[in-house]
Amino acid sequence: MDSTSSLESCKQSAVDFRGNPAEKSKTGGWLAAGLILGTELSERVCVIGIAMNLVTYLVGDLHLSSSRSANIVTNFMGTLNLLALLGGFAADAKFGRFLTVAISAAIAAAGTCLLTMATSLSSMQPPACTRILLQEHECVPASGGQQAMLFAALYTIAAGAGGIKANVSGFGSDQFDMNDPKEEKAMLFFFNRFYFCISLGSLFAVTVLFYLQDNVGRGWGYGISAGVMVAAMLILFAGTTRYRFRRPQGSPLTVVWRVVWQAWRKRGVGFPARVEELNGYEAAVAPHTDRLRWLDKAAILQTNEISASESVDPETKAVKTNQTSTVTEVEEVKMVLKLLPIWAACIMFWTIYSQMTTFSVEQATYMNRRIGSFAYPSGSLSLFLFITVLVVTSLNEKLFVPLARRFTHNVQGITSLQRVGIGLIFSVLAMAVAAAGEMGRGGRLQNEGKNSISVFWLVPQFCLVGMGEGFAYVGQLEFFIREAPEKMKSMSTGLFLSTLSMGFFLSSVLVTVVDKVTSGGWIKNNLNKGRLDYFYWMLAVLGVLNFLVFSVFSSRHHYKVQKYQWTKNQGEELKVWTDESSEVKQHGEVV
Q: Give which of 504, 383, 390 is closest to 455, Cα–Cα.
A: 383
DSSP structure class, residue 199: H
CATH of the domain at 375: 1.20.1250.20
Asked, for residue 546, whether it belongs to a domain, the answer is yes
Per-residue pLDDT of the chain (591 residues; tens, 9 = 90+): 343 333 333 344 788 788 788 888 788 888 888 888 888 888 888 888 888 778 888 887 888 887 788 888 888 888 888 888 888 788 877 888 889 999 999 999 899 989 888 888 877 777 777 654 444 446 777 788 888 888 999 999 999 988 888 888 888 888 888 777 777 767 767 776 777 777 788 888 888 888 888 788 888 888 888 888 888 888 888 888 888 888 877 667 778 888 888 888 888 888 887 777 777 777 777 777 778 888 888 888 776 655 544 555 655 556 666 678 888 888 888 888 888 888 899 999 999 998 888 888 878 877 777 777 777 877 778 888 888 888 887 787 677 767 766 766 666 667 888 889 999 999 999 999 999 888 876 655 544 445 567 888 888 999 999 999 888 888 888 888 777 776 666 667 777 878 888 998 898 899 889 888 887 778 776 777 778 888 899 999 999 999 999 999 888 877 766 544 444 444 544 444 444 433 333 333 332
Gap between the Cα atoms of 14 and 356, Å rounded: 40
From residue 455, give the alpha-carbon distance in Å to each of 362, 367, 435, 438, 449.
11, 5, 15, 11, 15
385 and 495 both lie in a single domain: yes
From residue 569, give the alpha-carbon distance in Å to each of 363, 490, 561, 574, 586.
68, 38, 21, 7, 11
Q: CA 22, 25, 27, 33: dihedral to nearest 10 degrees? A: 140
CB-based burial, 189-207: b 16+ in 10 Å, e otherwise: bbbbbbbbbbbebbbbbbe
Q: What secondary structure does DSSP assign to 166-181, as a single string? A: HHHHHHHHTTS-TTSH
Number of domains in the chain: 2
350 and 381 both lie in a single domain: yes
Q: Under the phi-then-psi rule, with left for phi > 0, alpha for psi from -120 to 50, and beta for the rest, what region is 375?
A: beta
428 and 474 both lie in a single domain: yes
Beta strands 374-375 and 563-569: pairing type? Answer: unpaired
Q: Quick check: helix, strand or coil at residue 369?
A: coil
From residue 374, give the alpha-carbon distance in Å to each of 211, 215, 370, 377, 455.
11, 11, 6, 9, 13
The whole domain housing 513 covers 7-247+336-555
202 and 96 both lie in a single domain: yes
Residues composing the chain: 591
Asked, for residue 454, whether it belongs to a domain, the answer is yes
345 and 461 both lie in a single domain: yes
What is the identity of the amino acid at 100? T
Gap between the Cα atoms of 526 and 521, Å rounded: 11
Q: Give which of 111, 200, 194 is closest to 493, Cα–Cα.
A: 194
58 and 197 both lie in a single domain: yes
Asked, for residue 399, whether it belongs to a domain, the answer is yes
Q: Which long-range contacts (CB under 8 A, 24 or more apart) does 260-265 make?
A: 260/295, 260/298, 260/333, 262/297, 262/298, 262/323, 262/324, 262/325, 263/294, 263/295, 263/296, 263/297, 263/298, 263/330
Asked, for residue 20, whether it belongs to a domain, the answer is yes
Asked, for residue 268, whether it belongs to a domain, the answer is no
Gap between the Cα atoms of 156 and 418, Å rounded: 36
222 and 340 both lie in a single domain: yes
Asked, for residue 364, whether it belongs to a domain, the answer is yes
161 and 218 both lie in a single domain: yes
Q: Give which of 125, 151, 143, 155 is closest to 60, Cα–Cα.
A: 125
Q: Quick check: helix, strand or coil at residue 422?
A: helix
550 and 567 both lie in a single domain: no
Asked, for residue 306, whether it belongs to a domain, the answer is yes
Asked, for residue 1, whether it belongs to a domain, the answer is no
302 and 363 both lie in a single domain: no
515 and 456 both lie in a single domain: yes
47 and 20 both lie in a single domain: yes
From residue 46, give the alpha-carbon distance in Å to each of 161, 204, 353, 392, 559.
9, 10, 19, 23, 35
